[in-house]
Amino acid sequence: MAPAGNRIVALGLLYTLLSLANGTAPLRRVAAEQPESLPDRVLELAGRDLGPARLPTVHDPVPDAPYTVSLGPEILPLEPAGTLVPAYYVRFHLQQPLTLNLQLELDPDETINLQPARYRDDLQNHGGGWELAIREPGPRVLMRETRTGTRHTPLIILAESGEPWQGPPADREWFDVSHLAGSGADNPQTDELQAALDACAQSEQGGVVFFGPGVYHARGLVVGSNTLVYLAPGAVVAASTGEASFPREFLLFDEAENSGLAGYGVLDGNGHLLRGSDGERSITLVRFLNSRNVRAENVLLRNAAGWTFHIIGCQDVLVDNVRVTGDWGVPNTDGINPDNSQNVRIQNAFIYAGDDPACVKTTNRYGNDQPSRNIEIRDSTLMTLKTALKVGTESRQDIRDVRFENIDVIHSSRGIGLWMRDGHTFANILFRNIRLDLLEFEGERMSGEPFRFCIQDRAGVGTIRDIRVEDVQVSAPYRAQFTGRPGGELTHVVLRNIDWQIRPAHLKQEPLPLTAGWVVDPANERPLSGNPLIVVHRARHFTFDNVTLDWRDVPDGPWDRVADLQDSHHIPLDTLQHRHKPFPSPNEDAPPPRAGSEEP
């Protein structure tokens, strides 16, 4: 490991072209510089070791923010993580352990909830305020929590690793567009920025299109092959809002090979303005389309007007250390969606999204009809009002060989979901080492569900099989549902090493019925027997291995039974383990099969 002062040399490299550009040429080409050849003043900037290397911001601090975050005498600026629902973030490079001071006013019935839970001992109340020790890189989210368990007003703390970016090979060209910053929202630089991207893609060896600190506006940009789009700290590339029409995406990698998006800058979709008052205008922030060997690293993607990051028809994709902040409560603002793609790895992500943050699909859009296969999502922290770890709902081709591993789902509505609506097959899907911190939310009828596997018939009936859920810690107030459909199989599901703390339900005292449109079609609706915690309909061959249900927090209901089984076979509920179960377990856990439903 390099000394702390040298590790921050990445910041100097990020500002290299800013110091070299003269601001007069329409496109500035320079050779890649090595750190030791940078101007002395840039090296001096890079070498300062002040604890965090605060990433530059281009906006004034949020006025009247309910939090004040400081490091010693310095107040760190908060930026908005959403526009419709108040949320804030602060982002910095962590060079050495530090302690943040937090000032906030709590209501008498409020306290602070810090997630992921492994960091809770790092937060201490010292009477006049709170202190949060930051000992390692990674995201943390504080929320105000009432006595009834309601949480609100997130403060997102993004402590980045600070490892240096090594730069492109020496034979690559740099295309510096820093002189285009600051021309104003009413004067978008779409044509000039697109010219730089085109020139880079057409150069013999490809290169880097460098955005120095400042704000850039564009209507929509297209990236070709052999092009690295690099956003320096303090660079914000924002969607222009003054256009009557807008492409379907803001930044499109179109049939690109060996290209990427990198740097600690920001891509801002201006979603609250582009969506319009009716919310019908959906513009994807970043789309990788029919591309190969492409990557995205370290950037912050915020305020999308539709899906944030769509990966469709692609092969060999790496998404590493990407941060997503979107408007909480706005539908169809998904985080990262691999779709009709193969060999995709998403790691070290933080995603705060109003809709599904990590969702594997097969939509068959843009002429694609291949399966999604060999998808890995790992080592990440997700926060959502919908389903955190999801496969579906679009299933117009098979989805196979998917892994979700070592993921914290925090302050969220739902946990793990397999939603099949269009037939085909979900197979060989693994969820391992997952921590689910789930809550109820007003207006979210399925909030609090840890697991929902369901087959529906929108465009065909299919099969879900060979699913493993292992080493999962659950804190959730609502039921788990596993529902198949006639003609479609839900089979060979293994749940192993699951510890489920059943939280009290405050909004849904009476469990909602299974309703048509969400679980099965009306002709095949099945009523529930009592108020079960686990629903298994039309499924077979489940394994429960070391699955523990902890009832200590819900001694008075609303649950009156462990499970409701209908038209299901080989579901050994007697292997479930319980802590302080509030009711006995006679044969109601395994009612006799319906007439005509015997195992063939």
At 168, the pLDDT band (50, 70, 90 cuts) reads: very low
pLDDT at 539: 95
Instruction: Give residue 448's pLDDT.
Output: 94
- Under 8 Å between Cβ of 532 and 479: yes
The pLDDT confidence band at residue 280, using thresholds 50, 70 and 90, is low
Over range 440-453, report the average pLDDT: 91
Q: CATH classification of 68-160, choosing from 3.30.70.260, 1.10.10.10, 3.30.750.24, 2.60.350.10?
A: 2.60.350.10
Q: Of 403, 555, 398, 530, which is closest to residue 467 (Cα–Cα)?
A: 403
Q: Is pLDDT of 478 > 70?
A: yes
Structure-model confidence comparison of residues 512 and 540, the more confident one: 540
Residues 152-166: tens digit of each pLDDT:
999 999 999 865 444
- CA dist 469 and 480 (Å) reads 13
Residue 29 has what pLDDT? 42
Torsion, Cα 237 241 243 245, to 10 degrees, reads 90
Percent of the chain with pLDDT over 70: 81
* Residue 543: pLDDT over 60: yes
- Give dist(CA 201, CA 207) in Å, integer: 8
Parallel, antiparallel, or unpaired for β 300-302 and 266-268?
parallel
Looking at the predicted structure, is the pLDDT value of residue 314 above 80?
Answer: yes
**Which of the four pLDDT bands, split at 50, 70 and 90, describes residue 272?**
confident
The domain locations on the chain are 68-160, 356-362+371-592
Lowest mean pLDDT among 234-248, 253-267, 298-312, 581-595: 581-595
> Average pLDDT for residues 386-396, to the nearest whole number?
97
What number of other Cβ atoms are within 10 A of residue 369's Cβ? 11
* Average pLDDT for 544-570: 90
Between 270 and 329, whose confidence is greater?
270
Give the mean pLDDT of the chain: 83
376 contacts 345 by C-beta, under 8 angstroms? yes
136: which 2 tokens?
A: 């390692």
SS3 for 181-240, per residue?
Answer: CCCCCCCCCHHHHHHHHHHHHHCCCCEEEEECCEEEEECCEEECCCEEEEECCCEEEEEC
Residue 585's pLDDT is: 59
Tell whether the model's pLDDT for residue 599 goes beyond 60. Answer: no
Length of the chain: 600
Confidence class for position 443, pLDDT limits 50, 70, 90: confident
Q: Answer whether residue 120 shows pLDDT above 50.
A: yes
Q: DSSP for 539-559?
A: -EEEEEEEEEEE-TT-TT-S-
Most confident of 66-70, 101-105, 178-182, 467-471: 467-471
pLDDT at 20: 30
pLDDT attached to residue 508:
67
- pTM summary value: 0.89
3-state helix/strand/coil string of 274-326: HCCCCCCCCCEEEEEECCEEEEEECCEEECCCCCCEEEECCEEEEEECCEEEC
**pLDDT for res 55:** 67
